[in-house]
Amino acid sequence: MLYYLLYPLHTTFSFFNVFRYITFRTIYACLTAFLICFLLGPWVIRKLRDLQIGQYIQEDGPEHHHIKAGTPTMGGTLIVFAVVLSTLLWANLGNPYIWIILLVTVSFGLIGFADDYLMLIKKRNMGLSARQKFLLQLVAALLAGTLFYCCADFDTRLALPFFKNITPDLGWGYIFFAALVIVGTSNAVNLTDGLDGLAIGPVIVVSVTYMIFAYVTGHVKIADYLQISYVAGSGEASVFCGVLAGAGLGFLWFNAYPAQIFMGDVGSLSLGAAIGTLAVVTKQEIMLILVGGLFVMEALSVIFQVGFFKISKGRRIFRMAPLHHHFELKGWPEPKVIVRFWIISIALALLSISTLKLR
Ligand code: 57M
């Protein structure tokens, strides 16, 4: 909005020219989202406490989690609010990708909200059924995939890291592929969100990484120089990445160990879906496996654990899945698991950025 309101003033005051620059708006979008979360955080925590919106803890989990019972949850509502408001303020709203990303973030936020809300009224750790959640996610993601497909000039070819000449065209199949990326990422972030700051830390790291990807893929000269797919208009998505990183930092202030608030499904599902959508916008979908490698690791630990549990009739690969529980049960203190997982996430992000030059 500010882009429309203030940039036209540049003809009178040249200072307003800065509103044209994606870099300038990304930084201020990031700071705006950070301040919204940081300033409203204490009020939201108080309100959630007053409304008795506290976490139910599963009895079969690691023992020290029982003291977390009653921690205010659904903090994701604050994240989604900060993300939407800051994006509306700083992004160029004439860009269709911004609207698709917002649509996905809000619709997955609503699915998560319904899940959290049902958990609260049923007064146990059980919201929507897995099937209901998956179907709702699929509908929202397929709608997003269709909107991408309908965007003029949207490229349905896949960019494979390291293989610049191999770009299989998925055609309308891209709609399903995009949905898979969005739903998969949403659920992987949800599974990761089981220790204080464990999900939001890597969400910030991934957002900053995609901020770089969005900027370079949306810049015709840099994209050409790096020999990556140029996506007209994707540069604007870096403003959204800045917003995600800022809201994440503001939320982490309160979610850092020992957490005063959890994000709930409203946060984890929407953040994961937003990241998946960013991967689609920037045509760096396959790269997400590396950038968000930590989320992939957590999701795979569940897939392998559940699969092995079924075929071996009750035996396990890990002490408990998702992976963070395994290390907790091995005796690592919670902050150690969290910080070490953050380190892995940063290392993977650096590795993925380096691939921009390796092709
Ligand atoms: C939700 N939710 C956290 C909080 C957060 C298929 C199966 C592996 C699914 C999985 C599952 O349900 N995962 C998704 C995980 C929960 O956090 C809430 O949920 C929101 C995210 N959706 O925002 O509102 C708990 O996590 C802890 N937490 C923190 N700090 C945070 O900042 O400490 C969360 C955020 C919170 C709190 O304790 O209550 C969760 O873990 O439940 N299921 C599991 O993860 C379960 N694993 C399992 O059953 N493994 C089995 C295999 C065969 C499937 C096994 O390995 O044997 C475990 N989850 C728990 N206890 N809590 C099992 C035991």
Give pLDDT tens digits for 177-210. Answer: 999 999 999 999 999 999 999 999 999 999 999 9
User: Is 282 strand, coil or helix?
Assistant: coil
Beta bridge partners of 72: 54
* Main-chain dihedrals φ then ψ at residue 181, nearest 5 degrees: -65, -45
* Main-chain dihedrals φ then ψ at residue 358, nearest 5 degrees: -100, 70
The Cα–Cα gap between 218 and 239 comes to 12
Give the model's pLDDT for residue 359: 66
Take atom 39 of ligand 1 and give the residue whose Cα is closest.
57
Asked if 92 and 236 count as a contact pair (C-beta separation under 8 A), the reply is yes
The runs of H, that is alpha helices, within the chain are 2-6, 22-50, 76-90, 96-122, 130-150, 173-192, 200-217, 220-226, 237-255, 264-281, 288-291, 293-311, 323-329, 334-354
For the CA atoms of 88, 255, 105, 301, what is the dihedral angle to 10 degrees? Answer: 150
Residue 15, classified by CB atoms within 10 Å of its CB into exposed (0-12), middle (13-18) or buried (19+), is exposed
| Tokens standing for residue 100 | 């698709």
* Helix 293-311 and helix 334-354, axial crossing angle in degrees, nearest 10: 120
Question: Which atom of ligand 1 is closest in space to residue 190's alpha carbon?
Answer: 22
Per-residue pLDDT of 160-172, as tens digits, reads 877 777 889 999 9
Please state, rounded to an integer, the average pLDDT across all residues of the chain.
Answer: 94
Query: Cα(249) to centroid of ligand 1, in Å?
Result: 22
Query: Cα(254) to centroid of ligand 1, in Å?
Result: 19
Position of tokens 């044209």?
A: 20
Take atom 17 of ligand 1 and give the residue whose Cα is closest.
194
Ligand 1 site: residues with CB under 6 angstroms?
55, 57-58, 60-61, 65, 68, 73, 190-191, 193-196, 255, 259, 262-265, 268, 302, 305-306, 309, 316, 320-322
Model confidence at 87, pLDDT cuts 50, 70, 90, reads very high
Take atom 3 of ligand 1 and give the residue whose Cα is closest.
194
Take atom 61 of ligand 1 and give the residue whose Cα is closest.
61
Model confidence at 56, pLDDT cuts 50, 70, 90, reads confident
Among the listed residues 271, 256, 282, the one whose alpha carbon sits nearest the alpha carbon of residue 158: 282
Model confidence at 124, pLDDT cuts 50, 70, 90, reads low
Give the model's pLDDT for residue 306: 97
* Helix 76-90 and helix 237-255, axial crossing angle in degrees, nearest 10: 150
Per-residue pLDDT of 305-320, as tens digits, reads 999 999 998 999 999 9
Kindly state the average pLDDT of the residues 279-303: 97
Question: Which atom of ligand 1 is closest in space to residue 267's alpha carbon?
Answer: 23
Give the model's pLDDT for residue 228: 87
Domains of the chain, residue spans = 2-357
Query: Cα(99) to centroid of ligand 1, in Å?
Result: 31
Model confidence at 3, pLDDT cuts 50, 70, 90, reads confident
The DSSP annotation for 227-279 comes to T----TTGGGHHHHHHHHHHHHHHHHHHHSSSPS---HHHHHHHHHHHHHHHH
Query: Cα(191) to centroid of ligand 1, in Å?
Result: 7
Say how many residues make up the chain. 359
Per-residue pLDDT of 213-263, as tens digits, reads 999 999 999 999 998 889 999 999 999 999 999 999 999 999 999 999 999
Query: Cα(284) to centroid of ligand 1, in Å?
Result: 29
The sign of the torsion formed by the CA atoms of 271, 277, 278, 279 equals positive
Question: How far is C-alpha 193 from the chain's CA centre?
Answer: 11
User: What residues have CB less than 8 Å from 281, skipping those under 6 apart?
Assistant: 97, 100, 101, 148, 214, 231, 234, 237
Take atom 60 of ligand 1 and give the residue whose Cα is closest.
61
User: Is 162 strand, coil or helix?
Assistant: coil
Examine the pLDDT at 356 and tell me if it is beyond 90. no
